[in-house]
């Protein structure tokens, strides 16, 4: 465990960032990497190594806030990084107008999650603007773009949208019915869930769908018991030792979370084989720098390191905090969020 | 610091790439960080500077930073601003910083020019996942009314090199839409699938093209060819379902039967194949597994010679469907189902031992006849 702590700390505190395996550093996605690091440290019960106030400021500097004339409301949310070149500002005062500055749904999700993890009270989040920005991303079929300029649309962003609404305790940011229609329409003939209608069922999109429904409070309402049993079966069949993402594909550490968490939400994770799962995840550890990779003897990366830890947390590994299977943060952070919600609901607007 | 990419692929490609001076303007090396831990095998093939795109300088082999190019002197580069206490730093190469400082400057002014378009290609080469660069490039392509056929050639090369990147496929889709010309797509996607027959992006793009432009006609044949090559290709089975459900559908009994027979044939060839069993169950489950005449008998027969955990699970599901739809032979059917769950747990699918026990208990709870002392018999 200590090694993983080192791995995550290296990611956030060192002046140099190491990215292995997956290609050039993806600057515009920086916030997601920071989320993996922070949430990973949290699950390792080690957020105390972080300079929280500084990080909170940095996250707030990524918020796309309304300009003076409010003409950019449909573009609000959080950026992944400062890569566009907008001058640094920690969400104080109106936003700076820039022709290409918009939020990204995954960054808004991870930005809010990071703030929650860091114990911030979200008071500098312009909730109305975030929700307007989110609404602007939803398509007719219920799915979401990542950015208002347009992008691909699939179940990943449905999940991000659900997390945003959940964390802000406000579902006006989406048309829930349409989102649910999209989710139901993405169920495959084999009872897994694909990224969209007709697409191959996949562990990642199945998680996104089931977790989104769970966050909406609609899981039992929108799927019959028979359908839920079918989804359970599809997910259970993904275990080979670790978990695969699709039938007849190799296992990969991150599916120990994607599929594991889905099974947990469906109340049957307890019936998986913990030992084989654990042994697989541990076999993908990097003994030099810590972290996990998708396969044994491969380079670790922040995503697999984080989901490896989460996969172990699901089976109740010692010295790890429990992870909330739908919101994908520690139970501690989840309870802090519940507390925030209570304080919001307690006061009059 | 930087990335370690899959290098062996690149090594092979590097050897095939002509010198920079001979390459057409749009051709690019893959987006890797040049000053990084790129493997030495790769570096022997080409020195770092030889593979750079040069834009007509006196020495064609020396890369010149944008900050030193006189045609760019009018533009003030914009550095990234992470405030007084940058929390996450990446040590990018000089080249990366230089290109992106000028990219940010162009963005800020929303400049629409050929030089901007050229720069986006450099920025993409350095990081093909930067969605802002791709968006800006699309804006430029339209504003400058660029040749979209050339853009198709460009995006083809990029996807060949980085086929698992979301942005490149989205870009291709946009260009195809603008041209309203899907004529190259099926062949191109087939080429990508020949390198990785399960590439999710490729299949997604393929489904979109087929649906949008109604290119259904030859797809079943293509799917069959892929299944010939690998009967366990789950993506191909999914595509089979996609095509049939969008064309003939499965309601015609002749079609349904054809598909059932096709599936059984593939099962006999390779019994331990979850994909074919999922397909077979998928096309029959909504009608009710117990309602298809002769199916149970066929599966029981297969059980003797081509058994698998999938076959046994299928039987459990057929029995459950019986239980759901008829009271006849209730105890017998339930007992057979429970026996199979026990067999799976004990011997045939032990990794899911707890799950099959749970399935058995659930069946028991749901279907036990609670009247006058009836209870399922365990054999």
Residue range B270-284, pLDDT digits in tens = 999 999 999 999 999
CB contact under 8 A, A147 and B198: no
Tokens linked to A261: 């968490």
Query: What is the band of B188 on the pLDDT scale with cuts at 50, 70, 90?
Result: very high
CB contact under 8 A, A61 and B170: no
pLDDT of residue A3: 64
- Residue A18 above 80 pLDDT? no
Residue B83 with chain A: CB contacts under 8 Å = 57-58, 61, 88, 90
CA distance A240 to A246: 11
Tell me which H or E stretch contains B274. helix B274-284
Query: Measuring CA to CA, how many Å separate B45 from each of B20, B25, B27, B42?
Result: 13, 21, 18, 5
CA distance A17 to A29: 14
Mean pLDDT of A261-270: 98
Q: What is the ipTM of this complex?
A: 0.94
CA distance B252 to B151: 44
Residues of B forming the active site: 164
pLDDT of residue A29: 85
Is the CB of B227 inside 8 Å of chain A's CB atoms?
no
pLDDT of residue A49: 84
**Which of A18, A23, A139, A274 best probes binding to B when mutated, by most B CB atoms within 10 angstroms?**
A23
Q: Which of B5, B204, B353 sits opposite A199 (nearest CB)?
A: B204
Query: Do B180 and B148 contact (CB within 8 A), yes or no?
Result: no
CA distance B242 to B229: 19
pLDDT tens readout for residues B351-377:
999 999 999 999 999 998 643 345 454
CA distance A235 to A244: 9
Query: What is the band of A16 on the pLDDT scale with cuts at 50, 70, 90?
Result: very low
pLDDT of residue B58: 54
CB contact under 8 A, A24 and B2: yes
pLDDT tens readout for residues A64-110:
999 999 999 999 999 998 889 998 988 888 888 999 999 999 999 99
CA distance B245 to A244: 27
pLDDT of residue B328: 85
Residue A247 with chain B: CB contacts under 8 Å = 234, 274-275, 278
- Chain B: residue nearest A153 by CA? B170
Is the CB of B39 inside 8 Å of chain A's CB atoms?
no
Mean pLDDT of B83-103: 85
pLDDT of residue A12: 52
pLDDT of residue B231: 98
Query: Do A261 and A323 contact (CB within 8 A), yes or no?
Result: yes
pLDDT tens readout for residues A20-52:
333 445 678 889 989 999 999 999 999 988 889
CA distance B218 to B145: 34
A125-139, B39-53, B218-232: lowest mean pLDDT where?
Answer: B39-53
Q: In 3D, which of B175, B230, B226 has the Cα closest to residue B205?
A: B175
- Chain B: residue nearest A100 by CA? B107
Query: What is the band of B48 on the pLDDT scale with cuts at 50, 70, 90?
Result: very low
CA distance B167 to A151: 8
**Which of A111, A156, A192, A198 best probes binding to B when mutated, by most B CB atoms within 10 angstroms?**
A198
Residues 332-351 of B with CB under 8 A from A: 351
pLDDT tens readout for residues B98-151:
999 999 999 999 999 999 999 999 999 999 999 999 999 999 999 999 999 999
Query: What is the band of B50 on the pLDDT scale with cuts at 50, 70, 90?
Result: very low
Query: What is the band of A14 on the pLDDT scale with cuts at 50, 70, 90?
Result: very low
CB contact under 8 A, A85 and B207: no
CA distance B333 to B327: 10
Is the CB of B235 inside 8 Å of chain A's CB atoms?
yes
- Residue B51 above 50 pLDDT? no
Bridge-based pairing of strands A144-145 and A63-64 is: unpaired
Mean pLDDT of A142-171: 97
Count of C-beta atoms within a 10 Å radius of residue A335: 12
Rounded to 5°, the CA angle A117-A119-A121 comes to 115
Query: Do B116 and B140 contact (CB within 8 A), yes or no?
Result: yes
Indicate the SS3 state at residue B238: helix
Average pLDDT of chain A, as a whole number: 92
Count of C-beta atoms within a 10 Å radius of residue A168: 21
CB contact under 8 A, A58 and B242: no
CB contact under 8 A, B83 and A12: no
Tell me which H or E stretch contains B155. helix B148-161
How close is the nearest chain B Cα to the Cα of A349, in Å?
Answer: 33
DSSP letters spanning B327-377: -TTHHHHHHHHHHHHHHIIIIISGGGHHHHHHHHHHHHHHH---STT--PP
- Chain A: residue nearest B278 by CA? A190
Q: Which of A88, A194, A276 sits opposite B81 (nearest CB)?
A: A88
Q: In 3D, which of B1, B61, B13 has the Cα closest to residue B37?
A: B1
Query: Do B301 and B264 contact (CB within 8 A), yes or no?
Result: no
Residue B32 with chain A: CB contacts under 8 Å = 23-24
How close is the nearest chain B Cα to the Cα of A171, in Å?
Answer: 27
How close is the nearest chain A Cα to the Cα of B24, in Å?
Answer: 24
pLDDT of residue B327: 84
Residue A54 with chain B: CB contacts under 8 Å = 85, 87
Query: What is the band of B52 on the pLDDT scale with cuts at 50, 70, 90?
Result: very low
Alpha helices (H) in chain A, listed in sequence order? 2-13, 30-43, 52-60, 105-117, 127-135, 155-168, 176-185, 203-216, 219-222, 225-236, 255-265, 274-283, 302-314, 331-346
CA distance A77 to A88: 16
B331 φ/ψ angles, rounded to the nearest 5 degrees: -65, -35
The reported pTM is 0.89
- Residue B300 above 90 pLDDT? yes
Residue A236 with chain B: CB contacts under 8 Å = 352, 355
Residue A104 with chain B: CB contacts under 8 Å = 131
pLDDT tens readout for residues B194-237:
999 999 999 999 999 999 999 999 999 999 999 999 999 999 99
pLDDT of residue A286: 87
Bridge-partner residues for A193, per DSSP?
Answer: A187
CA distance B238 to A311: 28
pLDDT of residue B281: 98
Indicate the SS3 state at residue B305: helix
CB contact under 8 A, B278 and A24: no
CA distance A166 to B209: 35
CB contact under 8 A, B90 and A149: no
Is the CB of B90 inside 8 Å of chain A's CB atoms?
yes
Query: Do A180 and A216 contact (CB within 8 A), yes or no?
Result: yes
**Which of A29, A143, A200, A275 best probes binding to B when mutated, by most B CB atoms within 10 angstroms?**
A200
Supply the DSSP symbol for A142.
S
- Chain B: residue nearest A52 by CA? B87
pLDDT of residue A287: 84
Bridge-partner residues for A144, per DSSP?
Answer: A138, A154
CB contact under 8 A, B130 and A34: no
CB pairs under 8 A between A and B: 203
Query: Do B214 and B246 contact (CB within 8 A), yes or no?
Result: no
Residues 262-291 of B with CB under 8 A from A: 273-275, 278-279, 281-283, 285
Q: Which residue has the tokens 């030889």?
A: B50
Buried b (16+ CB within 10 A) or exposed e, B77-89: bbebebeeebbbe
- Chain B: residue nearest A83 by CA? B80
Is the CB of B43 inside 8 Å of chain A's CB atoms?
no
- Residue B46 above 70 pLDDT? no
Query: What is the band of A2 on the pLDDT scale with cuts at 50, 70, 90?
Result: low
Supply the DSSP symbol for A248.
T
CB contact under 8 A, B88 and A276: no
pLDDT tens readout for residues A281-322:
999 998 888 889 999 999 888 899 999 999 999 999 999 999
Bridge-partner residues for A187, per DSSP?
Answer: A193
Mean pLDDT of A145-164: 97
- Residue B26 above 70 pLDDT? no
pLDDT tens readout for residues B327-341:
888 999 999 999 999
């Amino acid at each position: 465990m200590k090694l993983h702590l080192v791995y995550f700390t290296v990611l956030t505190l060192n002046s140099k960032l190491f990215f292995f395996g997956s290609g050039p550093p993806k600057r515009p996605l920086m916030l997601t990497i920071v989320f993996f690091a922070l949430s990973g440290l949290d699950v390792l019960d080690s957020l105390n190594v972080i300079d929280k106030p500084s990080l909170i400021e940095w996250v707030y500097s990524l918020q796309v806030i309304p300009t003076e004339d409010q003409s950019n409301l449909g573009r609000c949310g959080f950026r992944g990084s400062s890569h566009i070149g907008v001058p640094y500002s920690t969400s104080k005062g109106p936003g700076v107008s820039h022709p290409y500055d918009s939020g990204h749904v995954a960054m808004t999700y991870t930005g809010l999650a990071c703030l929650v993890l860091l114990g911030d009270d979200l008071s500098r989040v312009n909730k109305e603007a975030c929700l307007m920005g989110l609404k602007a991303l939803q398509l007719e079929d219920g799915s979401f773009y990542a950015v208002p300029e347009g992008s691909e649309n699939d179940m990943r962003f449905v999940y991000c949208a659900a997390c945003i609404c959940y964390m802000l305790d406000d579902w006006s940011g989406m048309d829930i019915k349409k989102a649910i229609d999209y989710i139901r329409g993405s169920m495959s003939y084999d009872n897994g869930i694909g990224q969209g209608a007709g697409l191959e069922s996949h562990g990642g999109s199945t998680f996104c769908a089931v977790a989104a429904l769970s966050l909406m409070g609609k899981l039992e309402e929108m799927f019959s018991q028979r359908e839920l049993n079918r989804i359970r079966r599809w997910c259970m069949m993904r275990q080979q030792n670790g978990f695969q993402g699709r039938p007849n594909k190799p296992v990969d550490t991150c599916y120990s979370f994607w599929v594991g968490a889905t099974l947990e939400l469906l109340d049957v994770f307890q019936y998986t084989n913990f030992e084989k799962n654990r042994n697989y995840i541990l076999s993908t550890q990097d003994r030099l720098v810590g972290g996990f990779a998708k396969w044994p003897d491969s380079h670790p990366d922040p995503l697999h390191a984080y989901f490896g830890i989460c996969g172990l947390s699901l089976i109740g590994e010692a010295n790890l905090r429990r992870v909330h299977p739908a919101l994908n943060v520690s139970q501690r952070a989840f309870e802090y969020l519940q507390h925030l919600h209570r304080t919001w609901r307690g006061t009059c607007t | 610091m930087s990335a370690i990419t899959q290098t062996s692929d690149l090594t092979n490609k590097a050897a095939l790439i002509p010198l920079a001076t001979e390459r057409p303007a749009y051709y690019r090396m893959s987006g890797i960080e040049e000053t990084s831990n790129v493997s030495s095998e790769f570096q022997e093939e080409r020195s770092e500077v030889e593979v750079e795109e040069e834009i007509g300088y006196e020495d064609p082999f020396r890369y010149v930073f944008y900050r030193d190019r006189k045609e760019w002197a009018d533009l003030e580069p914009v550095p990234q601003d992470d405030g007084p206490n940058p929390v996450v730093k990446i040590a990018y190469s000089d080249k990366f910083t230089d290109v992106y400082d000028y990219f940010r400057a162009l963005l800020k002014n929303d400049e629409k020019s050929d030089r901007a378009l050229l720069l986006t290609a450099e920025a993409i080469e350095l990081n093909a996942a930067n969605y802002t660069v791709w968006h800006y490039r699309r804006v430029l392509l339209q504003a400058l009314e660029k040749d979209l056929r050339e853009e198709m050639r460009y995006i083809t090369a990029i996807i060949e090199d980085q086929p698992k990147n979301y942005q490149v496929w989205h870009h291709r889709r946009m260009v195809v839409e603008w041209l309203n010309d899907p004529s190259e797509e099926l062949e191109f996607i087939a080429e990508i699938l020949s390198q990785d027959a399960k590439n999710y992006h490729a299949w997604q793009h393929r489904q979109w093209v087929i649906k949008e432009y109604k290119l259904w006609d030859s797809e079943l044949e293509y799917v069959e060819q892929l299944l010939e090559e690998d009967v366990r290709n789950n993506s191909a089975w999914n595509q089979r379902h996609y095509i049939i459900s969008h064309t003939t559908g499965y309601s015609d009994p002749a079609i349904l039967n054809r598909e059932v027979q096709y599936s059984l044939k593939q099962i006999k060839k390779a019994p331990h194949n979850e994909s074919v069993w999922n397909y077979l169950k998928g096309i029959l489950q909504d009608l009710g597994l117990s309602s298809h005449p002769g199916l149970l008998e066929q599966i029981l027969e297969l059980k003797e010679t081509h058994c698998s955990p999938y076959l046994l699970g299928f039987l459990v599901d057929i029995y459950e469907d019986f239980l759901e739809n008829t009271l006849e032979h209730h105890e017998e059917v339930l007992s057979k189902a429970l026996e199979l769950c026990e067999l799976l747990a004990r011997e045939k699918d032990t990794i899911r031992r707890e799950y099959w026990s749970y399935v058995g208990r659930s069946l028991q709870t749901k279907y036990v006849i609670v009247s006058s002392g009836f209870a399922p018999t365990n054999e």
